[in-house]
Amino acid sequence: MKKIKLYNKIAKVGTDVFDRTRYEVGEAAEAPDAIMVRSAALHDLAFNPELKAISRCGAGVNNIPIPRCTEAGIVVFNTPGANANGVKELAVAALLLASRDIVEGINWTASLAGAEDVAKAVEKGKSQFAGNEIAGKTLGVIGLGAIGGLVANAAVALGMTVVGCDPYLSVNGAWALSRHVNRAASYEDIYKQADYITLHVPATDSTRNMINKETLSLMRDGVRIINLSRADIVNADDMREAIASGKVKKYITDFPTEKTIGTDGIVTIPHLGASTAESEDNCAVMAAHELVEFLELGNIKNSVNFPNVSLPAGLDHRICVMHKNIPAVLSKLTTALSDMGINIENLASGSKGDVAYTIIEIGCEAPAAALEKFGLISEVIRVIVI
């Protein structure tokens, strides 16, 4: 029986994907074959030898030690697009929060509790919260993936002029974009022309602090910035300075920090991007299906550290090999089997950066001697038999 250990509360509709006659699923599962996690930090977790996969119910994987997982041959999955609609809807709300002093107005209205003539006080004081409409304004979208693409299309529908930039835009992502989304050649082009900028990029070495004093200086005075991606994409000190000077009119972020809360001009949302019942359900279901597909067939889809490789269900015996992405490894694997008279019925292989993954389907149970030969190949990271 395979074991799935749960970290955080995982939606039941997701855990119900597992056939309980073949899977033990729960927070108490010991020596698990796989982990399902939302936001719990796993960086200090000691991996048990049986652990083969970690599936993150969400897109971001900052809470998972990716390099260590790769070294151990543990496949890390995420669920791109499963929570995209929930984040898109919050982004639309953030556009309005950036345009109108809604939060400030609500807080001010609450201070009128006990006043004798609230209606009169409201009419007298409401002008201090006047804002702008978003229709006709230019929105720059940085990152046009599952979420950014939906935000761009929604902004077009709301009457905004939309320019987007994504150096890694996929073919499917491009097809999903409205024809009214204009292409920016670079992020700098967006900085120079946008009234609003919304960020939809992962936190990587190349994106951390991408919004800083230098990039802010390229933007229009009074620009409004939305960050529903990760806190460290924006340099908080530089943002506070830009807010104080009036360079940035409003900053809306879904990632409050000590430096952003309680600052005039900054609206901090308590990480609500994917906090909808629908998003949590969608992420849990996708994460569970990814684990079932991998544990039962060896197929990989939506991995952040190994390539997507799959074979349709066929024979009952598969050898799945994580290995370094260098020449001649495949020939070493196939030679080891042919030397033992074992025919390869089907094979699929792919690479991602420095690592590769190969599924070998054979017509018999994998002999221990063959697996021993695989283990002697220096480039092999891990071998999993299905």
**Domain 85-97+132-268: what homologous superfamily?**
NAD(P)-binding Rossmann-like Domain (3.40.50.720)
pLDDT value of residue 301:
96
pTM exceeding 0.85 = no
Q: How far apart are CA 355 and CA 325, in angstroms?
A: 5
Cross-strand bridge partners of residue 25: 4
- Tell me the CB-side half-sphere exposure of residue 124, using CA atoms within 13 A: 6
pLDDT value of residue 39:
87
What are the CB-based long-range contacts (under 8 Å, 24+) for 104-107? 104/129, 105/129
Handedness of CA 354, 288, 79, 252 (dihedral sign): negative
The angle that helices 277-297 and 84-99 make with each other, rounded to 10 degrees, is 150
Q: Which of 326, 282, 296, 286 is nearest to 52 (CA)?
A: 296
Instruction: Indicate the SS3 state at residue 249.
Output: strand
Tell me the CATH number for domain 1-83+274-302.
3.40.50.720
Q: Which of 279, 287, 276, 298 is nearest to 18 (CA)?
A: 287
Residue 258 known to be catalytic: yes
pLDDT value of residue 169:
92
Q: How far apart are CA 137 and CA 63, in angstroms?
A: 37
CB 235 within 8 A of CB 213: yes
Cross-strand bridge partners of residue 53: 34, 75
Return the domain boundaries, the chain: 1-83+274-302, 85-97+132-268, 306-386
Q: How far apart are CA 218 and CA 197, in angstroms?
A: 12
pLDDT value of residue 53:
98
Which runs of consecutive H residues, i.e. helices, occur in the chain?
A: 12-15, 66-72, 84-99, 102-110, 118-125, 146-157, 171-176, 187-193, 213-217, 236-245, 277-297, 329-338, 368-376
Cβ-Cβ contacts under 8 Å for 185 (sequence gap 6 or more): 165
Q: How far apart are CA 226 and CA 94, in angstroms?
A: 7
Q: How far apart are CA 228 and CA 239, in angstroms?
A: 15
CB 291 within 8 A of CB 336: no
Matching fold, domains 1-83+274-302 and 85-97+132-268: yes
pLDDT value of residue 360:
96
pLDDT value of residue 202:
86
pLDDT value of residue 3:
98
- Tell me the CB-side half-sphere exposure of residue 76, using CA atoms within 13 A: 22
Q: Pull the structure tokens for residue 342.
A: 């074992």
Residue 323 known to be catalytic: no
Q: Tell me if the domain spanning 306-386 has CATH number 3.40.50.1220.
A: no
- What angle is formed at CA 180 by the lines to CA 177 and CA 185, rounded to 5 degrees? 80
Residue 183 known to be catalytic: no
pLDDT along the chain (386 residues), means of 10: 95 97 96 96 96 94 96 96 94 97 93 90 92 97 95 98 95 93 96 98 90 98 97 97 98 96 95 91 97 98 97 90 96 92 94 97 90 92 96
Q: Pull the structure tokens for residue 180.
A: 């009214």
Q: How far apart are CA 34 and CA 23, in angstroms?
A: 11
| One-letter amino acid of 183 | R
CB 104 within 8 A of CB 97: no
344-352 sheet: strands from edge to edge: 344-352, 355-362, 317-324, 380-385
Neighbours of 193 (CB within 10 A): 15
Q: Tokens 């807080």 map to which residue? A: 107
Please report, to the nearest 10 degrees, the dihedral formed by the alpha carbons of residues 208, 65, 277, 250 taken in order.
-10
Catalytic residue among 200, 230, 289, 323: 230
Catalytic residue among 100, 208, 271, 317: 271
